[in-house]
């Protein structure tokens, strides 16, 4: 695929938690700009797989990783575990939405501004416009636009989930890792997020865990099922 270079590739990737093997010699090559769905039964290792691409598993527990993981960042392939690629830059370029929404214990506005704040962006106007744009994109602006100063932890489950999606989009990452991003949304909310992902297709590589076959049908370019530590392509 000449127009779409590889954005994510793994070689002989194995992962274990303590003694328990989760992934076993996974080889993967995913093109840039696609939406790739990952399915599989509960507890099989989908979330773990995602966290490998932004090295977040390192923050907790006693995981052990073997093999190579390469991501296309700034136009060239980087071996994120070998090359001395700075962790913080990596995580800024690879956005993540967690399975359980995790808004920060501050106001909604601050939650959205947080990623920009980390980048030393101080321009108030820019922050506000950008925040509103993202809120609109996840269709949250109508619901919470009038209480942007309220604490984000007081939002309802689905609102938190959408807020987290909006937050992860603030930096226009090249790669997005979404862990069941529509699990607490009703059908309509779900379709809206899918439309948003559609928009991002082409510019952003999206790796997305989902449980719904119909969702896969609707938006995924590719679909893998995780079974016994290996990925099996189903679409």
Question: Which positions touch ligand ATP (CB under 6 A)?
Answer: 17-18, 22, 40, 42-48, 60-61, 99, 154-159, 184
Q: Can you tell me the distance from the alpha carbon of 68 to that of 14, in angstroms, rounded to the nearest whole number?
A: 9
Judged by CB under 5 A, does residue 156 bind Mg ion?
A: yes
Comparing every residue's Cβ against Mg ion, the nearest one is 47
From the CB of 43, what's the least distance to Mg ion, in Å? 8
Q: Can you tell me the distance from the alpha carbon of 231 to that of 140, in angstroms, rounded to the nearest whole number?
A: 35
DSSP β-bridge partners for residue 208: 37, 178
From the CB of 118, what's the least distance to Mg ion, in Å? 25
Task: Compute how many residues bind Mg ion; rule: CB under 5 A.
Answer: 4
Q: Can you tell me the distance from the alpha carbon of 120 to that of 117, in angstroms, rounded to the nearest whole number?
A: 5
From the CB of 158, what's the least distance to Mg ion, in Å? 6
Comparing every residue's Cβ against ligand ATP, the nearest one is 158
Residue from 33, 95, 101, 115 in contact with a second copy (CB under 8 A): 101
- In this structure, what are the phi and psi dihedrals at residue 225, rounded to the nearest 5 degrees? -110, 135
Contacts to other proteins by CB under 8 A:
54, 56, 58-61, 87-93, 95-96, 98, 100, 102-107, 109-110, 114-115, 117-120, 149, 151, 153, 164, 167-168, 171
With b for 16 or more beta-carbon neighbours within 10 A and e for fewer, the 16-52 pattern comes to beeeeebbeebebebbbbbbbbbbbeeebbbbbbbbb
**Residue 216 · residue 37 · CB < 8 Å:** yes
Judged by CB under 5 A, does residue 157 bind Mg ion?
A: yes
188 interface partner picked from ligand ATP, other proteins, Mg ion, none, CB below 5 to 8 A per type: none
Q: Can you tell me the distance from the alpha carbon of 159 to that of 138, in angstroms, rounded to the nearest whole number?
A: 9
From the CB of 15, what's the least distance to other proteins, in Å? 16
Instruction: Name the segment binding Mg ion (CB under 5 A); options: 87-95, 153-161, 163-171, 224-232.
Output: 153-161
Residue from 6, 99, 102, 153 in contact with Mg ion (CB under 5 A): 99
| Nearest CA among 8, 27, 14, 13 for reference residue 232 | 27
| Nearest CA among 230, 235, 181, 172 for reference residue 208 | 181
């Amino acid at each position: 695929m000449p127009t779409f270079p590889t954005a994510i590739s793994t070689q002989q990737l194995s992962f274990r938690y303590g003694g328990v093997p989760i992934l076993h010699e996974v080889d993967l090559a995913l093109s840039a700009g696609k939406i790739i769905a990952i399915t599989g039964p509960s507890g099989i290792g989908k979330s773990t797989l995602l966290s490998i691409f932004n090295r977040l598993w390192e923050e907790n527990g006693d995981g052990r990783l073997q093999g190579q993981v390469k991501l296309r960042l700034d136009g060239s392939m980087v071996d994120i575990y070998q090359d001395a690629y700075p962790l913080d830059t990596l995580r800024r370029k690879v956005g993540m939405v967690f399975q359980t929404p995790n808004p920060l214990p501050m106001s909604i506005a601050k939650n959205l501004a947080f990623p920009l704040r980390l980048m030393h962006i101080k321009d108030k106007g820019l922050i506000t416009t950008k925040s509103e744009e993202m809120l609109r994109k996840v269709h949250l602006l109508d619901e919470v636009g009038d209480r942007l100063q309220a604490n984000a932890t007081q939002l309802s489950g689905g609102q938190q989930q959408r807020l987290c999606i909006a937050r992860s989009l603030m930096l226009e990452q090249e790669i997005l890792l979404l862990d069941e991003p529509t699990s607490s949304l009703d059908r309509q909310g779900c379709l809206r997020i899918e439309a948003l992902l559609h928009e991002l297709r082409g510019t952003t590589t999206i790796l997305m865990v989902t449980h719904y076959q119909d969702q896969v049908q609707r938006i995924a370019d590719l679909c893998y099922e995780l079974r016994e530590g290996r990925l099996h392509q189903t679409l």
